[in-house]
Amino acid sequence: MNAKKPLVAILSGAGISTDSGIPDYRGPNGVWRSDPGAEKLVTYEHYMADPKIRRRSWRMRNDSPALRARPNEAHAAIVRLERAGVPVRVITQNVDGLHQMAGLPERKVLELHGTARTVVCTRCHDRAPMTEALERVRAGEEDPACAKCGGILKSATVMFGQRLDPVVLGNAMAIAKGCQLFIAVGTSLQVQPAASLTGIAAESGARLVIVNAEPTPYDPLADELVREPIGTALPALLDGIVQEAGTG
């Protein structure tokens, strides 16, 4: 590394959080493979039209391991990188908030698919903590409505059928174009437009490293492919960058 400390961009997917007890979606044991009907619970059209879907969704949220999960070694390694003074930005497809919980500053995390830690009203757009809504569910409300206007509440995640926030996506594209090192970790790189950030980074001259158990469509563009477990491979990779930055 040179003294300028180049920008490191990290695109994180579900695989970075599996060690925290959150199952992935498209892997061999993924949610979509074990329960194909689960996809309807996070499809906007079905969610808005069917109270039964919403009630099942709230039960799923109440039982979800995501809100009880804690950051793991991979999340911690990214925080060490940032605290070592290396310019780093995380672009995450995850909605679990574990990067921030690990200690990464909010402004350095772009949540492409929103967050499961907040609820939003589909009518008045008021936001509130997910924990408050789940307390209402546990108290007997099967489909809690917005406390302000009575509208339908949903998690502040981007459901199937919804567009990504154009500002967040625009910022992510700028980071992909401007970084010198782009690390895609724990993502199948099959979901667009998130996956396209990998190609944008490579085309813009960034060194591309893909850390993932399964092959991805962007593997041919990668400078380095890592198939080792993320919980050990990512810390080794990032701690190496920290050491180089300290001696650069």
Report the SS3 class of residue 248. Answer: coil
DSSP H or E segment with residue 153? strand 153-157
Residue 179 near residue 206, CB atoms below 8 Å: yes
From 46, 75, 113, 125, the catalytic residue: 113
| Joined tokens for residue 168 | 């967040």
Distances (CA, A) of 118 to 95, 97, 114, 126, 218: 10, 10, 9, 10, 32
Q: Length of the chain in residues, anyone?
A: 248
Residue type, 247: T
Residue 153 near residue 133, CB atoms below 8 Å: yes
Picking from 206, 148, 140, the residue whose alpha carbon sits closest to that of residue 175 is 206
Residue 82 near residue 116, CB atoms below 8 Å: no
46 noted as active-site residue: no
Q: Which of the residues are catalytic?
A: 113
